[in-house]
Amino acid sequence: MTFKSNDSAWTTKGATLSHKSAEKEFGLTLDEIVAGIRAGKLQYRENSIYGAPFLRLIRSEVEALVNEKHGKDYLNKKKWKKELLDINRTLKHLKAQMLSLETRKKELLELLGNRGS
- Provide the β-strand partners of residue 46: 55
Q: What pLDDT does 5 receive?
A: 53
Domain positions in the chain: 1-71, 72-117
DSSP string, 84-105: HHHHHHHHHHHHHHHHHHHHHH
Residue 39 corresponds to which amino acid? A
- What is the average pLDDT score of the chain? 89
- Measure the CA–CA gap between 67 and 74, rounded to whole angstroms: 7
Q: How many angstroms separate the first and last alpha carbons of the chain?
A: 77
Whole-structure pTM value: 0.65
DSSP-derived 3-state class of residue 13: coil
What is the pLDDT at residue 6?
Answer: 57
Say if residue 11's pLDDT is above 60: yes
The pLDDT value recorded for residue 29 is 92
Q: What pLDDT sits at residue 51?
A: 92
Integer CA distances (angstroms), 74 to 40, 69, 77, 99, 114, in order = 22, 9, 5, 37, 60
Are 15 and 3 spatial neighbours (Cβ–Cβ below 8 Å)?
Answer: no
Could you read off the pLDDT of 34-89 as tens digits, one per residue?
999 999 999 999 999 999 999 999 999 999 999 998 888 888 898 899 999 999 99
